[in-house]
Structure 1
Amino acid sequence: MQAIDKFVDYVLNLSKKKYAEFVLYFVSFIESIFFPIPPDVLLAPVSTSNKVLWKKYAFYTTLFSVLGGMVGYLLGYYFYEEIIGWNIFNSEKIYKAKIFFNQNDIAMIFLAGFTPLPYKIFTLTAGFFEINLLIFILTSFVSRGLRFFIVSFIFSRYGILIARNFKKYFEIFGLILIIIFLLYVYL
């Protein structure tokens, strides 16, 4: 718990720095490719620190996240086998996964962009499975935008005090969306 408390204190202190906005956008970009910490962690306190600019923070967080997602897509498109080493799976399983992903491309990308699922995995996979790039970009903008505008609005309005409850309920909401999607696919 001490490590988590220290991290929270660090993020709260960072959110008050002049360069916090740029760190937020950088994290938004790299999180879509490889970085393990989602930008929400910094977006929330930055939006709390300067409530008037919450829309700006949400917009640019979305923009840089989608730009990073496009880089992830291109990496998947050109280098997925080298990065992940898909050669450990047989080609029939890859083919089945590609068909499933392509048949559900909008839903898969939306879920990855909006829920706690790791968006970076889906950016690489979308490129590897050659999902239509325009569909990928538009769906990413909508899903990431919804997520970041909701986070930024809530924290600009109600403050950092709701962080623990918000995270808990956001994850529950994300899991409900995943369950609904799975029911849709398999029923």
Structure 2
Amino acid sequence: MTRIDETRDFIPVRIAILTVSDTRSLEEDRSGQTLVDRLEAAGHVLADRMIVRDERDAIRAQLQEWIDSAEVDVVISTGGTGLTGRDVTVEAHRDVYEKEIDAFGTVFTMVSMQKIGTSAIQSRATGGVAGGTYLFALPGSTGACKDAWDEILKYQLDYRHMPCNFVEIFPRLDEHKRRK
């Protein structure tokens, strides 16, 4: 159930897009471009966009750079969430997570089941939080990026979404650092 409270002001979020691929360039990156188009259409800000190879250390380093940046609120990666030996995006994400958003993968699977049936079992989409930054790892297919944005992220990254959303708890993500 999704409900937008029109009495609340929309708050744009700064989102970085990371495509994990050994073969794509920015010009050929349809999944990354799909995410860029959707986040901008929703009123959010593209903070940065990169392509890195399917190398755990390279992925982790880019994630950490954005976690450490005051200019990035959310990171969405696409690619490398499958089951093959080169698919290491999930492991790189988990290397930096302080907390995993367990239900993200579950809800993504539920959405995917409606579109691709039991093939949804092959995705390891994940979400988490680190350094006050939300991180989401999506499959590399354009369809999966559309589904994740249109059915989940569009709502959870909208401050007006009720009964709750990720944006309204941004100020509390790192509250443990303020405790004495």
Instruction: Write 1 or 2 for the structure with the bigger share of helix.
Output: 1
Instruction: Write 1 or 2 for the structure with the bigger share of strand.
Output: 2
* TM-score calculated relative to the size of structure 2: 0.35
* TM-score calculated relative to the size of structure 1: 0.34
